[in-house]
Amino acid sequence: FGQLSMDVYKYSSKKIALPFELIQDSFIDIESYIADLLATRLGRITATHYATGTGTGQPHGIVTGAASGAVGAAGSTTTVVYDKLVDLEHSVDPAYRNAPGVGWMMHDSSVAKIRQIKDSNGRPIFVPGYEQGNPGGAPDRLLGLPVYICQEMAQMAANAKSILFGDFKKYRIRQVMDLTLFRMTDSAFTLNGQVGFVAFMREGGRLI
């Protein structure tokens, strides 16, 4: 057994201030709405770090920790061929390929490139939704396994890790502090006729 450090990092949504008038006059629960926005803001930065984090001052991203399983053919920096998808799948040990967390992950533009792969008669090889009886529907499976869209991953380019395949349950996220919202009514805000809001959480992640 080896040892890996599962460090955690504190994330801040950064403060925002709402005037008294907006809170008093709003016909919706503006404070709940702000809480949702701050949660989304934190979700976006952690999604980026869990995908491509460097491990220095931020979590180790799954792309950063993944080994190279297949490399595109020379000249195919913005496309992918069927054979390379098969090579990538079989670069993972069969013991892991059959695990319940196995699938594909890529940027939406990469899914579009895969949908454009055609046979010698010009027919698309992968028709999203076909296995569910809804041809042309949302992307769902590739070579029989689920496809997860991750906009934080690199698009197809030279030297880019643009497609992941493997057991995604091997990427572990450690949550130490749940997302916590703070409502601030101290003098710094009150003198400006405002109420302040900020959210924090502490998390980390690593490919095991």
Residue from 69, 75, 84 nearest 167 by CA: 69
Whether the predicted pLDDT of 180 surpasses 60: yes
Query: In this predicted model, which residue has the larger pLDDT, 129 or 111?
Result: 111
| pLDDT over 90, % of the chain | 64
| pTM reported for the whole predicted model | 0.85
Whether the predicted pLDDT of 137 surpasses 60: no
Task: Quickly list DSSP for the chain.
Answer: --------EEEE---EEEEHHHHHH-SS-HHHHHHHHHHHHHHHHHHHHHHH-BSSSSPBPHHHHPPP---PPTT-TT---HHHHHHHHHTS-HHHHTSTTEEEEE-HHHHHHHHT-B-TTS-BS--TTGGGT-TTSS--EETTEEEEE-TTSPPS-TT---EEEEEGGGEEEEEEEEEEEEEE-SHHHHTTTEEEEEEEEEEEEEE-
Mean pLDDT of the chain: 89
Q: Are 61 and 52 in contact (CB under 8 A)?
A: yes
User: Residues 52-70: what's their mean pLDDT?
Assistant: 94
| pLDDT over 70, % of the chain | 94
Whether the predicted pLDDT of 107 surpasses 70: yes
Tens digits of residue pLDDT in 152-169: 999 999 889 999 999 999
Q: What gap in Å lies between CA 82 and CA 24, rounded to an integer? A: 59
Whether the predicted pLDDT of 135 surpasses 70: no
Comparing 41-55, 103-117, 121-135, which segment has the lowest mean pLDDT? 121-135
